[in-house]
Structures are given as structure tokens and as C-alpha cells.
Amino acid sequence: MKITAIKTFIVDGGFRPWTFVKVETNEPGLVGWGDCTDWGSPGPVAATVERYSEWVIGRDPMQAESIWWDLSTASLRHVGGIAWKAMAGIDSALWDIRGKALNAPVWQLLGGKMRDELRLYWSHCGSVRARHADRLGLPSVETTDDLRRLAEEVKERGFTAIKTNLFALKDRPDAAPLLNRTYHHAGDAPPEVIRNAELIVGTFRESLGPDVGIALDVAFTFKLGGAIKLARALEPYDLMWLETETLDPDALRTVRESTRTPLCTGESLFGSHGYKPFLQLHAQDVIMPDFAWNGITMGKKIADLAHAYDTLVAPHNCHSPINTLVSAAVCATIPNFYIQELDVDDAPWRDDIMTHPFQVENGYLKLSDRPGLGSDLIEEELRKHPPASYPGAR
């Protein structure tokens, strides 16, 4: 069996682009699908996939491990970033092919499942409706009353955890988030930002009760001192975690030692070498690898490394439905799985592009027994949703 072609598809994902990789073989009808979604630069990622295809076409698709390390060697001068995202898209598609060729789910190839369903948290809960409600046809979140109504919906749909962000609410102009984190600021947490975090998290906690997990994602917004102030301010709300990022593991360890609030990090790291210093320092309570950016081959190694350092894994999964299946395949097999991310408020056409949409019941993802990742994509449906105005889109 040989790889005959590698194609990319950039698709409108509602509030971010989806970037898919299709690997074709000389076996009739045998193809694999992967995800290498990059919110800001889908075009360059797709172009890198096409560049790498020159080194992959003609090879045996069953050699996922060998192909991963060959591409890793080829990208030694630019480890991580766009290069590894492109590698990850190819890698996941190769695992999909392996599963189909062997008539087995990918989780079976990774050692067999340890669970039949995966606990999910509702990601961007509130922030998507605050920013993209009209585009997605959802009720808007503009006030604290809107947040309370959304919390009731979370409970009605059976979710046991959510993750939210900082965003403005019209009835509390004194509680203001910072500008988009891509704008320059000192990385401090001024009083109005602390009030905003307490308002959003506190409203959710009051409405959801003590047993529903609440996470707050602030990405790279705060430097060490600001992150400490924020984490301490949120201690009364018993967070599932505060998700704060830094490339300095010692700084994150300092934050963790300064607060009772659990910390989660890692979505912007690449490879076991990237995670190792954070794990060695026990700088966080939960590690968050992105399998659309690290692939299945490397993703499983990262999860196993985290287990060796007594750390839970909750994968970053706010990309496409294919990455939900990729993440599920890995999470089904690891003992240190904690919870999986899911954008409940997603593009209305998400299920339309899949031959077998994944199933969510009462806040849990049901594992598929179908070969490979469990679903193919429908190309004619992908073409109905070209990217809108994303940087790098083609």
C-alpha cells in the first residue's frame, strides 16, 4: 500500500477556520482524515502540509511512527509551530488509514480503551455567545442575567463542567476585561479585570452550584504577578482550574506555589521536549496538549510522560470535529485522562460535514467502535463552507 496524494481543505468553522488533511492511498476508497487547525494562519499550515507531501507520497501509510520522525528531522530548524501543526495533520490521517486497513478503531491500535465514554466540558461557555451569537444563530450573552440563563442550559444538557473567558457585560461596565491579548499591555491584573473575572466566575458558580467544574482560560494575557493576583482572587470560587500560559516553567511553578487555585497549561507547547520542563517542575495540576498540533504519535507520548510525572491530561480541543475524534482516541487509552474540551456552541454545519457525527449524551462523548477515527468527511459539504475572512485563508 502506498500514499498517492495529500490534500488540504480550509473550511469555515463558525468562529475559527478548520484545516483538514486528506491522505489518499492506492487502495480503492482507503483514505485518512486529519486536523491541523490553526486559528490565525490556516493558509501557511496548509502550504506546509503540501510541502511535506513531497516527502511522504509514495511511502507506506502504515509507517506513521517512521514518517513522524522523518518529518521531525526535516523540520529541526523550525521545531513546533506551523511545521508541527502540518506534521500533526498528516499524522492523524495516517492513523485513520491504519485503523481502517486493520478494521480497528484507532484507540484499539493505541492499546485498547480504558473507558467507553469521555467526560466533557462546555468550552467558551458564554464567550462564544458574547462575541459570535449572530453568526452562529445563538442567543446572545450581554448581561449577568444572560449568563444565568446559559447556566440553566448547561445543567439541562447534563454537562458537569464548563470553561469560560473574560468578556464584557453591559450591566457591569465597572468590570472590564483587557483588550484582546494580541494588543500590548503590561500583563498585570488591574482591579477592573479582577472584578470581571469574579463577576463571570461568581455568576456561574452561584447558578451552577458547587459540584459543576468551572475553568477560566486567560491564555498568555497575564505575566507572573498578574496571574498570581488573579489566581488568588478566584480562590473562593473553587475553580476546576485557571488556564494561564507562559513559556517559563519556573514562573508557572511560582504561580502554583502562590495560590490554592489549580493551574492548567500546555496548549501552546510542542513535543515531549516542550512539556518535559513543566512536568519535571510540577508547575501545573493539569497539562493540556493539543493533538491537532502534536498529532497522535507524539500526543500519546506526551500523555504517557505526564502520567510518569503524576499529572492529569485534559486535551486542548476547540478545533474541528475530526480533532474531537483524534483527542477521544488518545484519551480513551490513558490512565491520567481528566476531561475533554468541546465547543457545544459550534458551527451549525459541523455534523453535516461528517459521515458519522460523534454522539454526546448528558455531557459525555460516546466512543465510536468504527474503524479508524470513526468518521470520514464529506468533500462536497466542505466546499459549501469556504473560509470567510481568516488570515492566510485561500
Residue at 60 is within a domain:
yes
For residues 354 and 220, state if they share a domain.
yes
- CATH number of the CATH domain containing 307: 3.20.20.120
For residues 54 and 139, state if they share a domain.
no
Residue at 387 is within a domain:
no
Residue-wise burial string across 294-313, b where 16 or more C-beta atoms lie within 10 A, e elsewhere: bbbbbbbbbbebbbeeebbb
Residue at 97 is within a domain:
yes
**Contacts of 229 by beta carbon, 8 Å cutoff, 6+ apart:** 188, 189, 194
Q: What pLDDT does residue 179 have?
A: 62
For residues 218 and 236, state if they share a domain.
yes
Q: Is the dihedral of CA 49, 51, 57, 61 positive or negative?
A: negative
Residue at 121 is within a domain:
yes
| pTM of the complete model beyond 0.85 | yes
Each residue's pLDDT, cut to its tens digit, for the chain (394 residues) gives 999 999 999 999 999 999 999 999 999 999 999 999 999 899 999 999 999 999 999 999 999 999 999 999 998 888 899 999 999 999 999 999 999 999 999 999 999 999 999 999 999 999 999 999 999 999 999 999 999 999 999 999 999 999 999 999 999 999 999 865 555 577 899 999 999 999 999 999 999 999 999 999 999 999 999 999 999 999 999 999 999 999 999 999 999 999 999 999 999 999 999 999 999 999 999 999 999 999 999 999 999 999 999 999 999 999 999 999 999 999 999 999 999 999 999 999 999 999 999 999 999 999 999 999 999 999 999 999 998 765 544 4
Residue at 310 is within a domain:
yes
Residue 99: which domain range?
3-103
Q: What pLDDT does residue 125 have?
A: 98
Q: What pLDDT does residue 392 have?
A: 46
Q: What pLDDT does residue 77 have?
A: 87
Q: What pLDDT does residue 178 have?
A: 80
Q: What pLDDT does residue 391 have?
A: 53
> Cell match 502534536: residue?
294
Q: What pLDDT does residue 370 have?
A: 98
Angle at CA of residue 38, ends 25 and 101, nearest 5°? 20
Residue finishing a domain among 56, 73, 103: 103
Residue finishing a domain among 59, 78, 103: 103
Q: Are 95 and 329 in contact (CB under 8 A)?
A: yes
DSSP lists the bridge partners of residue 213 as: 161
Q: What pLDDT does residue 237 have?
A: 98
Total length of the chain = 394
Q: Are 243 and 219 in contact (CB under 8 A)?
A: yes
Q: Are 320 and 18 in contact (CB under 8 A)?
A: yes
Residue finishing a domain among 52, 75, 103: 103
CA-only gyration radius of the chain, Å: 20
For residues 222 and 316, state if they share a domain.
yes
For residues 233 and 371, state if they share a domain.
yes
Number of domains in the chain: 2
Q: What pLDDT does residue 393 have?
A: 45
For residues 151 and 21, state if they share a domain.
no
